[in-house]
Structure 1
Amino acid sequence: MPLKLGCVAVLNRNPVEIEQNISFSEMRRREAQFFIDNCTHFDDAPDELKGSEQLVRRLVSIQQERIRSTFPQILQKLKDKIQEKNAELTAMPVMITSEHEFSMKFYQLVHELQGIIQMKLDGNYNIINVDRNTVQSDSDSNDDACLENDRLAYHIYACQQRFKNRLKECFKNISSLEYHKNVWKAITDTSGITLPNIYAPHLIQRLFQEEIGHVPDTLQPDIQQILFTFSRQT
């Protein structure tokens, strides 16, 4: 806040007076006599601007003015803080003061969470009630929801579910008629080289390499997700 300080003329002690350790009352007497003896030099200055007593009064006046201007704001802030804390206390649950009340509250919570607890005991961490077959495997929202959950087991379970769904997507054509035709064609191409009831190793290897080529692109994101999950937990 802006303060109009003004000025007050006072008589300072000289080095000799400081060494003599002259009392404050004696210095006030000498100060008053000084303004009387040198009145011609201070004719234009009113009496309220002369002497240490007027300086003290001026400082007290400034302090009181500042208190009056800032005290209402401080009081309002204190009232707001008290109301905020009262609201927090009101929102708090009833305090448990006995062993009986504690037991009743504990069994109430166990009853309310019985279904979730049983799911955890059975190893089912999929607590979000959604059909994962209808969710896209590369959905960013699923990844964000997973990261917000701090349960390590749930992270691993969710990664496992995504990995399983992606593997199913990669090999969904393995039982189709078209795939059977391709395998039969590969067997026919190697006929005459091997025995009819024993397939050549290079045929099995070729078919395996064709299918395994789909796996790395699917497996790598989930491995990175699991490693990231472990790093957040440690």
Structure 2
Amino acid sequence: MDAYELEALIEQAAHTDTAARAEAAVELAAVVTGRSDGPAVGALIELTRDAETDVRDRAVFALGALAAVDGPGVRQALWARVDDPDEETREEAVRGLAVRRDPRSVPLLGQLLAADSAHLHTFQAAAVLAEATLLPALRAFDPRDPGVTEALTACDPQLRARRDRDSDALLEAVYELLPDTDAALYAHRMEAALTLALTAHDSTLAWNADRLLERADGDPERAAALVADDIGARSPMDGTAAA
């Protein structure tokens, strides 16, 4: 988006029409660059204070969940909405703070988990926050429900340590099996999952390391073989396709 388009979007954020401002909130999140002092972030923060509930809800969701940006101003804007009259806006503000690992969100997220309104986004936020005090509330949910197992693993220090060991072993196994590739493990600052990225043949592929290990029944060497199979590589040991 060029400067002219961004300026038009910022003008739309100040439009007198409620629907136009709500639409601008979501579109602004898509053009945030990561700088917390950028004009798109400033316009989005201003929309979180909008008099209309729908606009505030959209803006808090966009700032908290869609915009990959952090900073004192962002957190202050989200914190200002944790007591919002609108329930959905309050919940989005809490989740937005949680995925930024703001310690003030721990008791508030615990309250969301204790409420009937707990859903996938709340579990995902708990997984990012990785706070052991959330375990009692999380254990009340069925681990088969989407997001629950991931949150339990992230918040339980022992399970998290085991996951980290398995992920490290996966990376080592990939290097053993595919020594000519460039592999790395990383985590986005607002996400709980570890990503395995591998560069080979002038292209980069990525896998969710947790999902990859699940496919391999927790065996790092089998998971590495799945990676080799996914990229169509062949084992340097026997020249056969990895399985």
TM-score class, shorter: under 0.3
Ranked by relative contact order (alpha carbons within 8 Å, sequence separation 6 or more), the top structure is 1
TM-score (norm 2): 0.20
Q: In terms of Rg, which structure is larger? A: 1
Bigger strand fraction: 2
Bigger helix fraction: 1
